[in-house]
Amino acid sequence: MKDNPHHDDATTGPKLWIILARAYGSLAAYVEVCIAAEGICLSDFMVLEVLLHKGPTSISGIGEKVLLANASMTAAIDRLEHKGWVARHSSEHDRRSRIAALTPSGRAFISDLYARHAQDIEAVTSVLTEREKNQMRASLKKLGLAAAEATARRRS
């Protein structure tokens, strides 16, 4: 039975995919619950996080980082602007491009929320040793690059 590569104990590519998807789903659900407790949705949090770490950014640039469609990005920016956390202005270099930036109250809100978010993620990932975290980081990075290369080959 152990010689069978499809035995339940074997870590095949499809099984790894399922484990990875389930782990991501569980982590994402945890983050969503934590973020929702603050009265915002995950997409709004991701936009605020980009602006916190990258500074003023074009609307399309934020969308590329958080993987949101243009319509979803506009809705998120509208919600955040309505709450007074984000302001929009035209780009100095390209008047057609709109730049989003945190307002002082937006910076205070996301700085505090991100600190708690980091603690929440640290608490969940504390089940792993530093060595396991580093190994997982390297393995996931390697897997992600391989998947990106495979996707590029399939598209060409």
Residue 1's pLDDT band (boundaries 50, 70, 90)?
Answer: very low
Quickly state the pLDDT bin for 68 (edges 50, 70, 90). confident
Helix (H) or strand (E) holding 102: strand 98-102
pLDDT category, 60, cuts 50, 70, 90?
Answer: confident
The mean pLDDT value of the chain amounts to 90
Q: pTM of this prediction?
A: 0.78
What total of structural domains would you count in the chain? 1
More confident residue, 95 or 68: 68
pLDDT tens, residue by residue, 24-40? 999 999 999 999 988 89
Residue 129 lies in a domain: yes
Name the token pair of 41.
């949705």
In a domain, 8, yes or no: no
Comparing CA positions, the residue from 20, 151, 136, 140 lying closest to residue 12 is 20
Strands 98-102 and 57-58 turn out to be antiparallel
What confidence score (pLDDT) does residue 74 get?
87
In a domain, residue 144? The reply is yes
- Positive or negative, the CA dihedral 23, 26, 30, 35 is positive
- More confident site: 97 or 7: 97
Whether 7 is covered by a domain: the verdict is no
- Residue 44 counted as domain residue: yes
Q: Is 145's pLDDT higher than 50?
A: yes
Distance of CA 156 to the CA centre of its chain: 28
Could you tell me how far CA 52 lies from the centroid of its own chain?
Answer: 14
Q: Which residue has the higher pLDDT, 57 or 68?
A: 57
- The confidence score (pLDDT) of residue 10 equals 82
Q: Which domain holds residue 73?
A: 14-151
In a domain, 52, yes or no: yes
pLDDT higher than 70, residue 5: no
Q: Flag whether 6 is in a domain.
A: no
Q: Give a yes or no: residue 135 inside a domain.
A: yes
pLDDT band at 113 (very low <50, low <70, confident <90, very high): very high
User: What's CA 105's distance to the chain center, in Å?
Assistant: 22
Which CATH number goes with the domain that contains 19?
1.10.10.10
